[in-house]
Amino acid sequence: MSDGILGKVVVITGASSGLGEAAARLLAAQGARLVLAARRAERLQSLIKALTADGGQALAVTTDVADRGQVQALVDGAVKAFGRVDVMLNNAGVMPQSLLERLKVDEWDRMIDVNIKGVLYGIAAALPVMKAQSSGHFINVSSVAGHRVGPGSTVYAATKFAVRALSEGLRQEVKPYNIRTTVISPGAVATELPDSVSDPDAAARIEKFYADVAIPASSFARAVKFAIEQPEDVDINEILFRPTRQDY
């Protein structure tokens, strides 16, 4: 176990699969106390059962991050259960890519609601708690798409560029409160994220790309672990990683 993680209270959104689930499993093994959030209650409960069977401390809170009240209830539940919040991992995201000319405006709205507002709601809920503690750590999940834009990824990339901007502004503002901030930008990682792509052309392209280059979600979990376990005077602000074979 890592002394830098042991006993820390970590809230993870989008924890029912993929990046969030992988982070939860690794952090539980390191002795973190977890509060896991996602919309799929049955998947969350199955994960909680597995983690607690292995001796971990974890609870589930069914949460849609696009609903500010639900995110507030998530953080309130963490404080009620464990007395504090040490890490807020704003991980929930969706990626229904398509060309702008397809005019999938409902999907644009959903990406804005989940990928941007969901992060903001996580910050709004946890920041007062961390200020009162004079400690804490926000980890916000961007993407390689938050560093470069390609055809079909325009709106998704815009939301992930926004996550990086929010994270940098947050970093500057929370210095008086001893709060750390990290933005993690993964490349192609094998998760259910491509399943949200409804456009047939984009779906076929992404399916082939992920089949060729994607790496396991454990790669993301290790990045989270690295950021959290640093000494309190070390603030890892940004991690950008890709599969070795990914060329952009």
CATH of the domain at 114: 3.40.50.720
Within-domain flag for 4: no
Within-domain flag for 247: no
pTM for this model (two decimals): 0.96
Within-domain flag for 97: yes
Within-domain flag for 3: no
Per residue in 18-46, pLDDT (tens digit) is: 999 999 999 999 999 999 999 999 999 99
Structural domain that includes position 98 = 9-241
Which residue do the tokens 């804005």 mark?
112
- Sign of dihedral through CA atoms 226, 168, 94, 16? positive
SS3 168: helix
Burial 204-214 (b: 16+ CB within 10 A, else e): ebbeeebeebb
H-only helix segments in 214-247: 218-228
Count: domains in the chain: 1
Q: Catalytic residue at 156?
A: yes
Per residue in 165-207, pLDDT (tens digit) is: 999 999 999 999 999 999 999 999 999 888 888 888 888 999 9
- Which is catalytic among the residues 156, 177, 210, 248? 156
